Amino acid sequence: MFKQVMKKIGVIVLALTLLILDLTLLGAFPLLTQDGKFSLVEQIGYGVWALGSLAIFIVIAYRFKLLSLKEINWRRLVAIASLNLVIFFLGDLLGYFVGQLTHNAAMEHQDTLKKIFIHVPTYLQFAVVGFIIPVMEEIVFRGLLAKVLFGKYFKTGLVISSLFFMAGHSAFTPQTIVIYGIVSAGYAVTYYKTKHIEYSMGVHILNNSISVLLSLFV
159-193: burial string, b at 16+ Cβ within 10 Å, e else: ebbbeebbebbbbebebbebbbbbbbbbbbbbbee
Q: What is the pLDDT of residues 186-196, one digit of tens each?
A: 999 999 999 99
Q: What is the reported pLDDT for 106?
A: 58
In this structure, are residues 105 and 175 in contact, taking their beta carbons and an 8 Å threshold?
yes
Alpha-carbon distance of 23 to 208, in angstroms, equals 14
Q: What is the reported pLDDT for 171?
A: 87
Residue 34 has pLDDT above 60, yes or no: no
Residue spans of the domains in the chain: they are 2-215
Q: What is the reported pLDDT for 136?
A: 96
Q: What is the reported pLDDT for 91?
A: 94
Q: What is the reported pLDDT for 31?
A: 62
Let me know the angle formed at the C-alpha of 10 by 108 and 193, rounded to the nearest 5 degrees: 65
Q: What is the pLDDT of residues 151-188, one digit of tens each?
A: 999 999 999 999 999 999 888 889 999 999 999 999 99
In this structure, are residues 117 and 27 in contact, taking their beta carbons and an 8 Å threshold?
yes
User: End-to-end distance of the chain based on CA atoms, in angstroms?
Assistant: 50
